[in-house]
Amino acid sequence: MKKKEIKFSLVYRDMWQSSGKYQPRVDQLVRIAPLIIEMGCFARVETNGGAFEQVNLLYGENPNKAVRAFTRPFNEAGIQTHMLDRGLNALRMYPVPADVRRLMYKVKHAQGVDITRIFCGLNETRNIIPSIKYALEAGMIPQATLCITYSPVHTVEYYADIAEQLIAAGAPEICLKDMAGIGRPGMLGRLVKEIKTKHPDVLIQYHGHSGPGLSMASILEVCENGADIIDVAMEPMSWGKVHPDVISVQAMLKDKGFEVPEINMKAYMKARAMTQEFIDDFLGYFMDPTNKHMSSLLLKCGLPGGMMGSMMADLKGVHSGINMILKSKQQPELSIDDLLVMLFDEVEYVWPKLGYPPLVTPFSQYVKNVALMNVLQRVKGEERWTMIDKHTWDMILGKSGRLPGKLAPEIVELAKANGYEFVDTDPQLNYPDALDQYRKEMDDNGWDYGEDDEELFELAMHDRQYRDYKSGVAKKRFEEELMRAKDAALSKGAFSEEDIKKLKRAKADPIAAPSRGQILWEVSVDGPSTPPSIGRKYQPGEVFCYINTPWGEYEKVVAPFPMQVVEICAKQGDTVNKGEAIAYVLRSDVFA
């Protein structure tokens, strides 16, 4: 006898978010959507939310156009789209005024997003419940979220009580967001059963990362106890710090008797190849290779896998400085692995003293930062807790909401010694409405508010990034960053000759031979000549080379746009055919 039906949701946004820095461009999203639909196994697709919009702005793309273009084909196919939002913080890392939060749901619903997954890093209901109401007002489905972690205070009873409050506030769905993958399978199963027993009509979706290796067991447990939808990934980015692959999840659940959708494997392989193509294009330059790995060490510190890339960058940044200090004290130097274990130990020490905030954005960053600074101070021979930033203090003092556990007495005393005051008011009261000031800025600049006020919303949500996008600074900065990333990748020598060619050409344009003939480099057609060096820049109209044609003419090849050479394909005297690539160059107005 078959068990209940389990549906799948593809977390396409989070696959990229947990792997690296950037999201696909709008043209790439539009290309992949039909293949995701053709796979036939997804009831839902995560299209945007979280850092998606900021990331698009960072490389100079309008995120509103990207969201509308990506959601449209899923809307037409009857596949629900969902986004991630951070409650009080909405789509960014710090609190958002209430009028901007309210506008977000109207904009996103108009753009074609069906469901919003609302979470608070503290599981603070005062931050989540207003967003449930805003979403319902706008016609969206509010999926209230429990941020799962493992600690003495994060019990089934703790989470079930929060779920009761969120369901009473109007949430028709609950998501178990196991962002670090450290939720114990047995506890997750008991929690699902507790909620489903009291609220059989409430839909439960499970989102679990693969980092420490518990995710498949957790999926089985939640399904056995009544979960309805499972978040999955797909190759080439499944597993590692991301999510389990849909193929493995489907096989496991099918074997256990659950009714699960079939997968069109021909479409899966096409989507897999296209996603790899996006990685090869430019996204792969910003994907930390360690995010491809699973690690049981994550169970020790509880940090989410998606943070490992930034954390390793932080460690590398302080590594040499720490070793210089140790060397000056005639103490043995530390390897990166030694430092990593020290940091994990310090997170384990710091976390309970800071009141057990669930280690999810932004609070995971706060705890990690405090731990890293403590490690640095202790190496110096100084005291812990002397380098706590403002945002972390806001969390400690209650400005973001109530902490799940009690602060250690030493933290309370430190706050008093600094003259800080603890608060327990509604966190939103600390952040007054602000849309009017953003309307004035739009008016002063002559900027259009956009369809459904989406451009006004973008400025209000990500003001600094939006201004950089409008001025063109973001695009230039991204192109420079991409070039540096390519240079760094090539200089590591970790690629085969063929890999290097692919990397060089990923974002490059070919300079094609206008006619058949022999290549003559530089401007002199009489004396000896050598090709330009890699990295040389050319202005539009500047002579690139000559072609000595079969009829004895010297045909000039000029730079068609500002460009920089990344690969030379023909040596002096080589015969090239018309249309054949002479070289590959990066096009950019950075060099203008």
Select the more confidently predicted residue: 368 or 315: 368
CA dihedral of residues 11, 12, 17, 18 (deg, nearest 10) = 60
Residue 50 CB neighbours (<10 A): 23
Query: Tell me, what's the pLDDT at 568?
Result: 87
Tens digit of pLDDT for each residue in 474-487? Answer: 998 888 888 888 87
Tens digit of pLDDT for each residue in 173-192? Answer: 999 999 999 999 999 999 99
Select the more confidently predicted residue: 52 or 306: 52
Query: Tell me, what's the pLDDT at 591?
Result: 35
* Nearest C-alpha neighbor of 162 from the set 186, 177, 145: 145
The region of weakest confidence among 57-66, 422-431, 440-449, 583-592 is 583-592
Q: What is the DSSP letter of 284?
A: G
390-397 and 363-380 helices, crossing angle to 10°: 120
Select the more confidently predicted residue: 447 or 390: 447
Select the more confidently predicted residue: 592 or 218: 218
Select the more confidently predicted residue: 322 or 445: 445
Query: Tell me, what's the pLDDT at 498?
Result: 60
Query: Tell me, what's the pLDDT at 315?
Result: 76
Question: Dihedral sign, CA of 158, 163, 169, 175?
Answer: positive
CA distance 249 to 84: 22
**Which of 120-129, 541-550, 567-576 has maximum average pLDDT?**
120-129
Report, as an integer, the average pLDDT of 68-79. Answer: 98
Report, as an integer, the average pLDDT of 456-472. Answer: 95
156-168 and 185-198 helices, crossing angle to 10°: 40
Query: Tell me, what's the pLDDT at 145?
Result: 98
Position 306 pLDDT exceeds 70: no
Question: Dihedral sign, CA of 442, 447, 450, 454?
Answer: negative
Phi, psi (rounded to 5 degrees) for 254:
-60, -40
CB 141 within 8 A of CB 135: yes
Scanning the structure block, which residue is given the tokens 């608060």? Answer: 423
Position 151 pLDDT exceeds 60: yes
Neighbouring residues of 502: CB distance < 8 A, sequence distance ≥ 6: 280
Tens digit of pLDDT for each residue in 83-92? Answer: 999 999 999 8
What percent of the chain is modeled with pLDDT above 70? 93
pLDDT band for position 530 (cuts 50, 70, 90): low
Position 421 pLDDT exceeds 70: yes
pLDDT band for position 308 (cuts 50, 70, 90): low
Q: What is the DSSP letter of 406?
A: P
Position 290 pLDDT exceeds 60: yes
Partnered with residue 537 across adjacent β-strands are 564
What percent of the chain is modeled with pLDDT above 90? 61
CA distance 427 to 129: 12
CB 567 within 8 A of CB 584: yes
Select the more confidently predicted residue: 269 or 58: 269
Query: Tell me, what's the pLDDT at 588?
Result: 61
Q: What is the DSSP letter of 213?
A: S
Position 590 pLDDT exceeds 80: no
Q: What is the DSSP letter of 287?
A: B
pLDDT band for position 497 (cuts 50, 70, 90): low
**What are the residue ranges spanned by the domains of the chain?**
7-286, 297-393, 434-471, 503-591
CA distance 472 to 486: 22
Query: Tell me, what's the pLDDT at 249?
Result: 98
Select the more confidently predicted residue: 502 or 71: 71
Q: Which two tokens stand for residue 494?
A: 């970790």
* Nearest C-alpha neighbor of 149 from the set 311, 360, 443, 355: 360
CA distance 53 to 396: 28
Radius of gyration of the chain (CA): 27
∠ CA 291-296-298, nearest 5°, is: 65
The region of weakest confidence among 44-53, 146-155, 220-229, 533-542 is 533-542
Query: Tell me, what's the pLDDT at 503?
Result: 54
Is the fold of 7-286 the same as that of 503-591?
no
Select the more confidently predicted residue: 156 or 320: 156
Q: 7-286, which class in CATH?
A: alpha beta
Tens digit of pLDDT for each residue in 15-32? Answer: 998 888 899 999 999 999
CA distance 243 to 237: 8
In whole numbers, what is the pLDDT of the chain averaged over residues?
A: 90
CB 295 within 8 A of CB 312: no
For the domain spanning 503-591, the CATH number is: 2.40.50.100
CA distance 584 to 404: 56
Partnered with residue 233 across adjacent β-strands are 245
Select the more confidently predicted residue: 376 or 85: 85
Position 525 pLDDT exceeds 80: no
CA distance 242 to 435: 36
Query: Tell me, what's the pLDDT at 179?
Result: 92
CA distance 283 to 324: 35
Report, as an integer, the average pLDDT of 549-565. Answer: 85
Tens digit of pLDDT for each residue in 358-369? Answer: 888 788 889 988
- CB contact burial 307-337 (16+ within 10 A = b; e otherwise): bbbebbebbeebbeebbeeeeeeeeeebeee
Q: Which two tokens stand for residue 187?
A: 């506890």
